[in-house]
Amino acid sequence: MKIYPFLETHGITYERYDHPPVFTCADVNRLVPDLPGQKTKNLFVCDNKGKRHFLVTVPDEKSVDLKSLGEALGAKRLRLASADRLARHLKLEPGSVTLLGAMNDMDGQVGVVIDQAIWNADALQCHPLVNTATLVISLKGIRDFLAATGHVPTVLDVPAQ
């Protein structure tokens, strides 16, 4: 499924900004002009047995303590999921992990975890499933998006390192 028709079908408005490919938050800070909304960092993680998967969205400057996050979620030994798992569950490539990837989890196999600071922002910056553009979407738009995908987010103060 394509992101733009999905957003339009669900009445979710956005501002689009094209830019060179970015793979890290440092790339974003270097190559993307200042945009409105909260910059985000997104991690796709799984438990030690690879049975539970989570898409975690935090402010871009936050370093996540995966051990403590796993404890908070009742998941043992969280680790970054492989590129294969990322492609299988969210149909994304490394460097393009985004909250908007939840639209590709049609079976509801991926839990969405959002940092409290993100949940309080006016708007978020999100990749539109590729790392060559950034969309700015209002928090209401993000909430509508998650509802449309069937994902009820776990909102918590994601533990930092």
Q: Is 94 helix (H, G, I), strand (E, B) or coil?
A: coil
161 in any annotated domain: no
69 in any annotated domain: yes
Count how many domains the chain has. Answer: 1
Are 102 and 86 in contact by the 8 Å Cβ rule? The answer is: no
CB atoms within 10 A of CB 153: 19
20 in any annotated domain: yes
pLDDT tens by residue, the chain, 161 residues: 599 999 999 999 999 999 888 887 788 788 787 888 999 999 999 998 888 999 999 999 999 999 999 999 999 899 999 999 999 999 999 889 999 999 999 999 999 999 999 999 999 999 999 989 999 999 999 999 999 999 999 999 999 99
Residue 123 structural domain: 3-156
Are 3 and 100 in contact by the 8 Å Cβ rule? The answer is: yes
User: What is the CATH number for 19?
Assistant: 3.90.960.10
Beta strand 79-80 with 40-46 is antiparallel
Residue recorded with tokens 């394509």? 2
